[in-house]
């Protein structure tokens, strides 16, 4: 039983990490209806920026501030160069454009910062905490705490600030939002900037775990099933989705996958997501789509 619990908790904590990446998607999807495939590349770019700055001797707070600044500038640039010319383009064109963007960002990140693996030490030990009935790593718990704080902050920002209310209005009905005088390009830049900051946090936590390297960019592939299960437009949904994906893929790998030769984690979340799609196409918490002709 305690082995089951350990696997379950390990999976849930991995799910927290997936949620962090998926959060960035939701921010952008809510504000601009764009399915941003470049979120993983943004995670890589942000983490590499931070690591390179700290390796050049910048102290943690300064490196963090500089990386945030870089991500904000990047967000504004993306809005200007990619999104604005594609206003009114079909959703598929926008998705394909973010795929192109992912390639540009991945190439750029490795061109600027090199391709070697960087170690990242946030000064938190990964050792298990003693005195508990099951083994839980201090680092995982802290990551979960940071994720919770991030979600809470985003929730407060969305509910109370002017930009947050504007973003919700745009998510609800872009045309009506423009009609009442909201500055759509500015809100898009804010949403992409927010997603950039979320990507930075996710990149730091993942990077401390597995090293800052190209594979960070691939976490986008883990975030997709999370989004499908949770629903594209709900922050609560991605939390639930992340936990479900994390826990179920670990349990499936341990109890079923080991009999099939292992490595089922690459595809299991997708099969789960397709099953969810067939049963509940809008995800657990997604808005019901009403199609008008």
Partner 1 sequence: MTVSSDASAWPSSSDRSETRPPALRTAAWVVAILVATGLLVSLPLLVTDYVLSAILVPVLALGLAGIGQNLITGYAGQLSVGSAAFMSVGAFATYDVHLHVRGIPLLASFAFGGLVAGLVGVFFGLPSLRIRGFYLVVSTLAAQFFVVWLFTKVGWFSDYSASGVISAPRLALAGWDLSSPGGHYWLALMIVAPLTLVGRNLVRGRLGRSWMAVRDMETAAALAGVRTGRAKLLAFGIGSFYCGVAGALWAFTYLGTVEAHGLDLDRSFQVLFIVILGGLGSITGSFIGAAFVILFPVALDQVGSALAGGSVDASLLQNIEKIIFGALVILLLIKQPAGTVRLLQIAWCRVRRWRPRSA
Confirm if 122 and 146 have CB atoms less than 8 A apart. no
SS3 115: coil
102 counts as binding partner 1 under rule CB under 8 A:
yes
Does residue 195 touch partner 1 according to CB under 8 A?
A: no
Q: Does 115 bind partner 1 (CB under 8 A)?
A: yes
Which is closer to partner 1, CB of 175 or CB of 278?
278
Q: What is the CA radius of gyration of the chain?
A: 19
Q: Compute CA 226 distance to the chain's CA centroid, rounded to the nearest angstrom.
A: 10
Residue 224 found at the interface with partner 1 (CB under 8 A)? yes
How is residue 109 written in tokens? 């990140």
| Chain centroid offset of residue 194 CA | 11
If one asks whether residue 103 binds partner 1 (CB under 8 A), the answer comes out as yes
Site size toward partner 1 (CB under 8 A) is 45
Q: How many CA atoms lie within 13 A of 63 on its CB side?
A: 20
Whether the Cβ atoms of residue 6 and residue 134 lie closer than 8 Å to each other: yes
Site string for partner 1, 6-45 (x = CB under 8 A): -----------------------------x----------
Cα pseudo-dihedral 57, 153, 18, 184, rounded to 10: -90
Among 12, 76, 110, 165, binds partner 1 (CB under 8 A): 110
How many Cβ atoms are within 10 Å of 190's Cβ, its own excluded?
A: 23
Task: State in angstroms the smallest separation of the CB of 255 from partner 1.
Answer: 17
What minimum distance in Å lies between the beta carbon of 277 and partner 1?
Answer: 5
249 contributes a contact to partner 1 by CB under 8 A: no
> Facing residues of 128 across strands?
137
The residues of the shown chain that bind partner 1, judged by CB under 8 A, are 35, 81-82, 85-86, 89, 91-93, 95-97, 99-108, 110-111, 115, 221, 224-225, 228, 260-264, 266-267, 270-271, 273-274, 277-278, 281, 291, 293
């Amino acid at each position: 039983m305690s082995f089951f619990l350990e696997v379950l908790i390990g999976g849930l904590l991995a799910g927290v990490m997936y949620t962090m990446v998926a959060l960035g998607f939701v921010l952008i999807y809510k504000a601009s209806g764009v399915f941003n495939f470049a979120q993983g590349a943004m995670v890589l770019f942000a983490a590499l920026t931070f690591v390179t700055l700290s390796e050049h001797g910048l102290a943690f707070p300064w490196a963090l501030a500089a990386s945030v600044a870089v991500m904000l500038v990047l967000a504004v640039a993306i809005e200007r160069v990619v999104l604005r010319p594609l206003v009114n383009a079909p959703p598929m064109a926008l998705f394909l454009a973010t795929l192109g963007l992912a390639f540009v960002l991945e190439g750029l990140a490795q061109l600027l910062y090199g391709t070697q693996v960087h170690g990242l030490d946030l000064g938190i030990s990964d050792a298990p905490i003693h005195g508990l009935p099951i083994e839980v790593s201090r680092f995982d718990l802290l990551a979960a705490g940071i994720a919770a704080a991030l979600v809470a902050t985003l929730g407060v920002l969305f509910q109370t600030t002017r930009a947050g209310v504007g973003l919700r209005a745009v998510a609800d009905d872009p045309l009506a939002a423009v009609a009442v005088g909201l500055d759509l390009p500015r809100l898009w830049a804010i949403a992409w900037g927010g997603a950039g900051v979320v990507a930075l946090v996710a990149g730091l936590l993942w990077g401390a775990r597995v090293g800052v390297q190209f594979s960070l960019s691939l976490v986008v592939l883990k975030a997709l099933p999370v989004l499908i299960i949770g629903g594209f437009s709900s922050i609560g949904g991605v939390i639930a989705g992340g936990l479900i994906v994390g826990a179920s893929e670990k349990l499936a790998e341990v109890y079923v996958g080991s009999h099939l030769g292992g490595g089922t984690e690459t595809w299991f979340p997708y099969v789960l997501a397709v099953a969810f799609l067939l049963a509940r196409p809008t995800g657990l918490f997604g808005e019901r789509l009403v199609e008008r002709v």
